[in-house]
Amino acid sequence: MVTKTVDSYHFDKLEETIAKLNEEDCTIIAGGTDVMVLHKSRRGVAPKIAGPVVFIDHLSELKQTYLAEGNLHIGACCTYGEMLEHSLIPSVFKKAIREVAAPAIRNRGTIGGNICNASPAGDMLPLLYIFNAKLVLRSFLGDRIVEIHDFIQGPRRIARQQNELLVEVILPDVVDEESTYLVFEKIANRQADAISKVSFAGLLQVKDGKVADARFAFGAVGPTMVRSLEIEKKLLAKGYPLRAEVLEEVVADFSSVINPIDDQRSTAYYRETVALKLLRYFLTSKELS
Amino acid sequence: MIKFKLNGSVVETDALSTVRLLDLLREEFDLIGSKEGCGEGECGACSVLVNNLVQNSCLIPIGALEGAEVQTIEGYSQTPQYQVLNECYATSGGVQCGFCTPGMIIATEALLSKNPNPTEEEIREGISGNLCRCTGYNMIVDAIQLAVKKGDGLW
Amino acid sequence: MITKDISQSVVKKDHVDKVAGQLPYISDVKMEDMLYGVLFRSPIAYGKVLSIQYPTLPEGYHVIGAEHIPGGNFVKILVPDQPIFANEWVNYIGEPIFMLVGKELKVLYQLLDEVEVEFEEHEATYTLDDAIGKMTDVMATHEFGESLQSIEKIEQEAYQIIEEEYETGYQEHVYLEPQGMLGIYQEDKIQVQGSMQCLYYIKNALISALACDDDEVRVIQSPTGGGFGGKEDFPSMMACHVAIAAQVVKKPVMLLFDRSEDLVVTTKRHPSKIKYKTALDKEGNILSMSTEVFLDGGANTGLSPVVLQRALLNSAGVYKIPHYHAKGYVLKTNTVPNGAFRGFGAPQSFAGIESHMGHLARIAGKDPLEYKRRYLVKQGDPTITNGRFRDPVFMEDMIEDLLETMKYRETKEEFTRFNQQSPRYKKGIGTSLFLHGCGFTGSGERDHIKATVKLLKTKEDKVLVKISNSDMGQGIFTTLSKIVAQELNVPYEEILFPYPDTKDVPDSGPTVASRTTMIVGKLLERAARRLKEQWQSGAEQEIVEHYVHEEMIPWDEKTFSGDAYPAYSWGVNMVEVEVDSLTGNVQLGEIHASFDIGKAIDERIVKGQIDGGMAQGLAYGFMEKMTSKQGKIQQRSITDYGPPTSMDIVHIESKLYDNPYAGGPYGAKGVGELTLIGGAPAVQSAIEDALAVSFYQIPITPEVIIESLEKREGEAVDKI
């Protein structure tokens, strides 16, 4: 019984890593908090990972966070812990990060990993969706920029080519948190170390008594985050506070696009009901001018 | 060959890069202080310090450790900070079955080294990845609050 | 140190080694030539094994199965219905069929994947409701109390009859250390070490399975990372597995569970259904009550009949109910066998009766606490089995005191105002009143356990405690040593208490039923007193002490009458919650608790029991959710099950009432289980108070809350 040795790569430079990806299909490990669980063996045995592994979380090129032309760039290998301490990270993201697992995981898990794991319950995803996050995928051919909702295709399914690496997350036109009503809610079975049963991110801007911008995303209620530009558009220029029939229409619209399931963590009924309650509450609870 | 610092000394291993740090510590280095309670990063019994940050050794593939500094409870127990925690956990009754304790001590160190004067809320957050089924946590929280007082200046 | 008052706390005996992480739990033990075992488990809930095809085994790898068992193929608990290796019929998913043994875990896992077993599947019973529908597999039943005819007569004349059904779910122990056992072969003898609560249960199981003599097996407790009942009955099965394997391969064999394996195949708290039928007069006073308790036993009998007894004995709570009748059943389902868990049937009963009394109070238009107090038992009152509450009952004082400490009335008013102004968050306050019978039920201590303790004094005048009870974190190394030290008037540090080994400790009984401090501690107190009288410095001395039964109203198990317990510990919990009506999430507010445990042997250790027990009890009421679907446990990770983290629990303000019990050492009664019992009912009552909705089940998860709130909203709309 011969067990195959897993080849692994740990390059000093991003360039070399990209070059290797062009040669071989590798399992990419950033923090490893998802990969190690996904491929977990039973006790006492290393995870079963087929093929070569490439480690990337030490690459300093992937750990930069900076502003460029009004866009916020976050390196794919920034850990939750690092983002929590960075002054450029919007505070609503920090609120969401504080609800990710617990400190030990936050010290390893990365934003790039959370995106590429493409879990329907991914903690960062609802906010990334409503911030219109763009992802920079680098290969030996150069950079390709993809919208997050095009990149994530389903549970653990992403539009990454074998030779590409997610290197950066870009939040374009970062909204001014002072004048924007931003909410993130993670609903789970306990206060820490929990996986979302429902999550919700909402953004609302009101100018001169009218809705100027409205965005919503729901997590854990479908195979990917649920966001609908069409429904959001219906709210634009509507008077705020919203009239009852406008509100009811938005809630009804979402009710038809949300399709959760029953599983070991919650019920479809709960997920849908709470998602819609959170939306309704978000749209009515605050006085905005 | 993977090379990193373990409890102050440089060590090398030719184990597979995907081997879990937890297994390497327990099997190759006979360091039994890091315990396996779940193997999925959900209980914290295997907590170690990597570059002074608390991490779950069951989730770390050793290939990621190249050049890192790892400290386990065995290394940490040689420090004056440990002595204070040891005493405060005793005085406050923070130890029952003991299985979560080494990991809890590591999480406490990580918390206090970053925030020497935490609020109760910050303490609860700091140990939130370390499951304890015996104490209901409160006497551990007390122990940490006591350590903040007693370890004046150590952190 | 020598303490003036025994309650004064000392540093625990095992503190230093535990903090440093150097105390070897069973998974930390390695031996030369040690092999590992992995179990092949049934993938189906009920059926017949038709054929097994083993893969080709590399050298040094073995299959261990039923054919290797020299004695009976069952784990000896109460009824011989639990096979060690199921070689013909399988009764639940996860039931062990055989074990593969060899050096490398990696190879073993791979071999396990290559095994092919053909089954003939039969129709299984998956749920308690299915089993209640059929009533064909009754594993135990008891009935007692006032005759149903006379109750019927009362019901006919009553103003109204209230019928309720209440359900409780699984609870999983989640001891931090997963189960583990090591079997060692030594010159025709077998030694078993591991994580355990009951050394002699294991020893007896081994003697039966190995068909060997008493001196051919030896059981040693390893440091045990939490038990809570989960290491009471279950480890006997694992011990049989490793012992049989070690005997065959003549090498040490280690069996360690993964967390997910542990969550899926080990025993849990019995899910239950409890039916109440209560007759009320016009003012809402109780005229009669009859209760039916159904426990889901799972696939094997295990300890379930005894769990049922405790569930029934507690079914009327702390109340003197006129004309009370109770009946109960343990029903078989094709699911993982349920077993011991801190409280042992009582948590289900208390959750149920406290809920029912709370609902009756609402029907009567009274505050739940006020209503419950009208029925509180007092000293001298009969128990529901016609025993007597012989000792002083301080519940009234405890309640009054807590009401004052937490400003009950002001808080209630404040919450009412808060709830009127807050559309999203709602606050509530709830109370639970409870007791726990200490020690074994009925004459168990006298007839079955017959505890014996030994003190050994060395020539160096060191005193060793020789008993078979386990310290699994609850601190008996410390508390029992303190009792002996206090009696001998020597410093506590001079008392030695090594991990027990059946080779040199007598059977002082299992570490269960809140009996260790009270029963075993009392025997040690007596032994120490005798040792002191006979003390000869420099001489080796041995003192043996046997259990002496206290005269009570004789217990008759057939008629379920007499004194079920020698003493009772008591408790009051008051809990505040804040419920998010948008999501159903519940956050704990202030928590106050008061307990009468006779006398604390060590206040800090008792506080540890209170905080830990209450955390488990509270979480049982609203957080911890385990479900089974088609016989399969759905929550296979700690996170999915959801025991509380440090952020879910809040500070607990607790108080002790001294009420020394003559039958316990220094007046001490049981603590361990009592502390868990009040959590769930207090949380339920607080959630009901916050939302003004009645619930009929625990855990009251956010899913349950949202469904109730939506239903209420729907009904409100219907009315318009």
End-to-end Cα spacing for chain B: 35
- Looking at beta carbons, which residues of chain C come within 8 Å of B127? 646
Give the model confidence (pLDDT) of A89-107 as tens digits. Answer: 999 999 999 999 999 999 9
Q: Do C15 and B89 touch (CB under 8 A)?
A: yes
| pLDDT at residue C552 in the model | 87
Exposed (0-12), middle (13-18) or buried (19+): which is C346, by Cβ within 10 Å? buried
Q: Chains contacting A with at least 3 CB pairs below 8 Å?
A: B, C
User: What are the residue boundaries of the structural domains of chain B, listed by start?
Assistant: 2-76, 80-150
Q: Which fold has domain B80-150?
A: DNA polymerase; domain 1 (1.10.150)
**Residue C443: C-alpha distances to residues C326, C524, C552, C557, C564 (Å):** 21, 20, 10, 9, 8
* Arch. (CATH architecture) of B2-76: Roll (3.10)
What is the model's pTM? 0.97
Q: Do B20 and A57 touch (CB under 8 A)?
A: no
In Å, how far is C514's CA from the nearest CA of chain A? 30
Give the model confidence (pLDDT) of B11-39 as tens digits. Answer: 999 999 999 999 999 999 999 999 999 99
A-B Cβ pairs (cutoff 8 Å, strict): 104
Average pLDDT over residues A57-76: 97
Token pair for residue C239?
Answer: 């011990």
Alpha helices in C431-494 (DSSP H): 444, 476-488
Q: Which fold has domain C31-123+178-258?
A: Aldehyde Oxidoreductase; domain 3 (3.90.1170)
CA distance C19 to A40: 29
Give the model confidence (pLDDT) of A174-184 as tens digits. Answer: 878 888 999 99
Cβ–Cβ contact B57 with C under 8 A: no
In Å, how far is A245's CA from the nearest CA of chain B? 42
Query: Nearest to residue A270, comparing CAs of A233, A210, A224, A220?
Result: A220
Best residue in C28, C105, C106 for a mutation probing chain A (most A CBs within 10 Å): C106
Cβ–Cβ contact A42 with C under 8 A: yes
Residue written as token pair 């709130």: C709
CA distance A163 to A23: 8
Per-residue three-class SS string for chain A: CCCCCCCEECCCCHHHHHHHHHHCCCEEECCCCCHHHHCCCCCCCCCCCCCCEEECCCCHHHHCEEEECCEEEEECCCEHHHHHHCCCCCHHHHHHHHCCCCHHHHCCCEHHHHHHHCCCCCCCHHHHHHCCCEEEEEECCEEEEEEHHHHEEECCEECCCCCCEEEEEEECCCCCCCCCEEEEEEECCCCCCCCCCEEEEEEEEEECCEEEEEEEEEECCCCCCECCHHHHHHHCCCECCCCHHHHHHHHHHHHHHCCCCCCCCCCHHHHHHHHHHHHHHHHHCCCCC
In Å, how far is B62's CA from the nearest CA of chain A? 10
Distance of CA C225 to the CA centre of its chain: 16
Of B17, B39, B47, the CB nearest to A104: B47
Helices (H) and strands (E) in chain C — how many of each? 20, 26
Token pair for residue C188?
Answer: 């025709």
In Å, how far is A80's CA from the nearest CA of chain B? 12
| pLDDT at residue A287 in the model | 75
Q: Do C21 and B35 touch (CB under 8 A)?
A: yes
C260 to chain B: nearest residue by CA? Answer: B38
| pLDDT at residue C715 in the model | 86
**Residue B15: C-alpha distances to residues B18, B63, B86, C109 (Å):** 8, 9, 34, 20
Name the pairing type of β-strands C286-298 and C324-332: parallel
In Å, how far is A32's CA from the nearest CA of chain B? 6
Best residue in B3, B16, B127 for a mutation probing chain A (most A CBs within 10 Å): B16
C501 DSSP 8-state letter: B
Q: Chains contacting C with at least 3 CB pairs below 8 Å?
A: A, B
Q: Is the pLDDT of residue A28 over 60?
A: yes
The answer to whether residues C591 and C443 touch, using CB atoms and an 8 Å cutoff, is no
| pLDDT at residue C87 in the model | 82
* CATH H-level superfamily of A182-284: CO dehydrogenase flavoprotein, C-terminal domain (3.30.390.50)
Best residue in C254, C583, C641 for a mutation probing chain A (most A CBs within 10 Å): C583
Average pLDDT, chain C: 97
| pLDDT at residue A1 in the model | 37
Average pLDDT, chain A: 95
Average pLDDT over residues C447-467: 96
B25 to chain A: nearest residue by CA? Answer: A44
Q: Is the pLDDT of residue B73 over 50?
A: yes
Q: Is the pLDDT of residue B67 over 70?
A: yes
Would you place residue C76 in the very low, low, confident or very high pLDDT band (cuts 50, 70, 90)?
confident
What CATH class has A8-40+61-171?
A: alpha beta
Would you place residue C720 in the very low, low, confident or very high pLDDT band (cuts 50, 70, 90)?
low
CA distance C358 to A150: 54
Best residue in A190, A262, A269 for a mutation probing chain C (most C CBs within 10 Å): A190
Residue written as token pair 């189906």: C44
Query: Nearest to residue C288, comparing CAs of C266, C319, C264?
Result: C319
In Å, how far is A190's CA from the nearest CA of chain B? 11
Q: Do A265 and C640 touch (CB under 8 A)?
A: yes
- Looking at beta carbons, which residues of chain A come within 8 Å of C707? 269-270
The answer to whether residues A232 and A216 touch, using CB atoms and an 8 Å cutoff, is yes
Cβ–Cβ contact C639 with A under 8 A: yes
Average pLDDT over residues C316-320: 98
Q: Is the pLDDT of residue A3 over 60?
A: no
CA distance A128 to A148: 8
Of C106, C585, C706, the CB nearest to A273: C706
Q: Do C261 and A42 touch (CB under 8 A)?
A: yes
Sheet of A134-139: strand order equals A65-68, A71-75, A165-171, A134-139, A142-147
Cβ–Cβ contact B139 with C under 8 A: yes
Cβ–Cβ contact B42 with A under 8 A: yes
Q: Is the pLDDT of residue A222 over 90?
A: yes
| H or E element in which residue C292 lies | strand C286-298
Average pLDDT over residues C263-280: 98
How many other CB atoms sit within 10 Å of the CB of residue A150?
A: 11
| pLDDT at residue A2 in the model | 40
Average pLDDT over residues C449-471: 97
Token pair for residue C24?
Answer: 């070897």
Q: Which fold has domain C15-23+444-546?
A: Aldehyde Oxidoreductase; domain 4 (3.30.365)
B78 DSSP 8-state letter: T
Cβ–Cβ contact A1 with C under 8 A: yes
Cβ–Cβ contact B67 with C under 8 A: no
Token pair for residue A197?
Answer: 């049963």
Q: Is the pLDDT of residue C179 over 80?
A: yes
Of B56, B60, B63, the CB nearest to A53: B63
CATH number for the domain running over C272-440+562-719: 3.30.365.10
Which residues 45-74 of A have a C-beta within 8 angstroms of C?
Answer: 45
Q: Do B139 and C637 touch (CB under 8 A)?
A: no
Work out the angle at residue C329's Cα, subtended by the Cα atoms of residues C328 and C335, and round it to the nearest 5 degrees.
Answer: 140
Q: Is the pLDDT of residue B65 over 80?
A: yes
Alpha helices in B93-137 (DSSP H): 101-114, 120-126
Q: Chains contacting B with at least 3 CB pairs below 8 Å?
A: A, C
User: What are the residue boundaries of the structural domains of chain A, listed by start?
Assistant: 8-40+61-171, 182-284
Would you place residue C467 in the very low, low, confident or very high pLDDT band (cuts 50, 70, 90)?
very high
| pLDDT at residue A51 in the model | 84
How many other CB atoms sit within 10 Å of the CB of residue C54?
A: 16
Of C20, C173, C645, the CB nearest to B77: C20
Q: Do B131 and C174 touch (CB under 8 A)?
A: yes
Whether cis (ω within 30° of 0) applies to the bond prior to C423 is no
Give the model confidence (pLDDT) of B114-154 as tens digits. Answer: 999 999 999 999 999 999 999 999 999 999 999 999 998 99
Query: Strands (DSSP E) along C68-121, which ranges?
Result: 89-90, 96-102, 116-121
DSSP C395-419: HHHHHHHHHHHTTHHHHHHHHHHHH
Work out the angle at residue B75's Cα, subtended by the Cα atoms of residues B69 and B79, and round it to the nearest 5 degrees.
Answer: 110
In Å, how far is B111's CA from the nearest CA of chain C? 14
Average pLDDT, chain B: 97
Q: Is the pLDDT of residue C540 over 50?
A: yes
